[in-house]
């Protein structure tokens, strides 16, 4: 098993550009989530999904969109990047819900100029 | 929503000594409390967890205690080694039927001095 994979590892965007951060897991997990990590603020939940076709907002959803068309994939879209979205982004998955062990991907470091 | 506070933000200990990291949470609906270790440039990795029906759990040199009444839980690392140096995060999970979300503390940077 590859576990949770994320692409790209690094990305630089200009303000206003759009992009999609990819996340995939091969563990047949139902629950997937996206976090951003900023210095001194820990990890904050952006969006999460409890299964294909179901998504919901987390703590900091503004400026981000998600979809879950398959169990394996959970992409995160930035429609119009802003400097405030400069951060490290982590995708995670767990078997069923938030009370199960979460497995994190290696992260994507995003810089918005 | 839930608010998780973590202390201290930085911690230095001599190799072989113990390290203790403390977290508090605000929502009594939280029922799952994992601890993660994050090494530089990597994603967080679960090291131990505890559920609300248990007061203490131990795994070799690592232990976690939970006080539901006071709404706090702690990570204890004994006989620390240089490879324990990392950032540690606590988290609290709201029960699945009332939110299904994780809330993380702000992290503790642990340095074990050889």
Can you tell me the distance from the alpha carbon of A73 to that of A92, in angstroms, rounded to the nearest whole number?
11
* Average pLDDT of the segment spanning A106-112: 97
Q: What are phi and psi of A84, to 5 degrees?
A: -65, -10
DSSP characters for B5-61? EEE-SEEEEETTS-EEEEEE---TTEEEEEEEEE-TTS--EEEEEEETT-SEEEETT
DSSP symbol at A28: -
For B20, B61, B92, B108, the CA distances from B86, given in Å and listed in that order, are 14, 16, 20, 8
**Which residue from A42, A101, A107 is facing B104, i.e. has the nearest CB?**
A42
Can you tell me the distance from the alpha carbon of A5 to that of B84, in angstroms, rounded to the nearest whole number?
25
Using a CB–CB cutoff of 8 Å, tell me whether B100 touches chain A: yes
Using a CB–CB cutoff of 8 Å, tell me whether B52 touches chain A: no
How does residue B98 score in pLDDT terms, banded at 50, 70 and 90?
A: low
For B18-62, what is each residue's pLDDT tens digit?
999 999 999 888 889 999 999 998 999 999 999 988 899 999 999
Q: Nearest CA of chain B to the CA of A105: how many Å?
A: 6
CB–CB contact A98 B93 (8 Å): yes
How large a percentage of chain B has pLDDT more than 70? 96
Rg of chain B on CA atoms, in Å: 14
Q: How many CB atoms lie within 10 A of CB A108?
A: 22
pLDDT of B97 above 70 = no
Q: What is the mean pLDDT of chain A?
A: 94
How does residue A74 score in pLDDT terms, banded at 50, 70 and 90?
A: very high
Torsion sign over Cα B22, B34, B101, B30: negative
pLDDT of A97 above 90 = no
Q: Return the pLDDT at B21.
A: 98
Using a CB–CB cutoff of 8 Å, tell me whether B92 touches chain A: no
Can you tell me the distance from the alpha carbon of B53 to that of B37, in angstroms, rounded to the nearest whole number?
23
Using a CB–CB cutoff of 8 Å, tell me whether B48 touches chain A: no
Consecutive H or E run containing B88: strand B86-94
Using a CB–CB cutoff of 8 Å, tell me whether A40 touches chain B: yes
B contact test, residue of A2, A6, A89, A98 with most B CBs within 10 A? A98
Can you tell me the distance from the alpha carbon of B28 to that of B40, in angstroms, rounded to the nearest whole number?
33
Q: Return the pLDDT at B11.
A: 98
pLDDT of B99 above 60 = no
**Which residue from A50, A56, A101 is facing B49, i.e. has the nearest CB?**
A101
- Which residue has tokens 């290696």? A106
How does residue A4 score in pLDDT terms, banded at 50, 70 and 90?
A: very high
Greatest mean pLDDT among A42-56, B9-23, B41-55 lies in B9-23
pLDDT of B1 above 60 = yes
All residues of chain B having their beta carbon less than 8 Å from the beta carbon of residue A58 are 101
Structure token pair of residue B29: 């609906």
Using a CB–CB cutoff of 8 Å, tell me whether B95 touches chain A: yes
Q: Return the pLDDT at B53.
A: 84
Q: Pick from B21, B33, B105: which is nearest to A102 by CA? A: B33
């Amino acid at each position: 098993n590859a576990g949770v994979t994320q692409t790209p590892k690094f990305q630089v965007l200009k303000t206003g550009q759009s992009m999609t951060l990819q996340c995939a897991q091969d563990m047949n997990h139902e629950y997937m989530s996206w976090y951003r990590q900023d210095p001194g603020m820990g990890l904050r939940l952006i969006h999460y999904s409890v299964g294909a076709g179901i998504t919901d907002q987390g703590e900091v959803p503004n400026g981000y969109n998600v979809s879950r068309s398959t169990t394996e994939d959970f992409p995160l879209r930035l429609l119009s990047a802003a400097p405030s979205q400069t951060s490290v982004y982590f995708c995670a998955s767990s078997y069923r819900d938030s009370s199960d062990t979460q497995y994190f991907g290696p992260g994507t470091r995003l810089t918005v100029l | 929503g839930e608010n998780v506070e973590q202390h201290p933000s930085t911690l230095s200990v001599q190799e072989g000594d113990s390290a203790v990291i403390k977290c508090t949470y605000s929502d009594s609906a939280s029922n799952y409390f994992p601890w993660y270790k994050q090494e530089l440039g990597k994603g967080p990795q679960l090291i131990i967890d505890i559920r609300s029906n248990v007061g203490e759990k131990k795994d070799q040199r690592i232990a976690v205690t939970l006080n539901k009444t006071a709404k706090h839980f702690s990570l204890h690392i004994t006989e620390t080694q240089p490879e324990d140096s990392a950032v540690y995060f606590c988290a609290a999970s709201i029960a699945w039927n009332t939110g299904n979300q994780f809330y993380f503390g702000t992290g503790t940077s642990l340095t074990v001095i050889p």
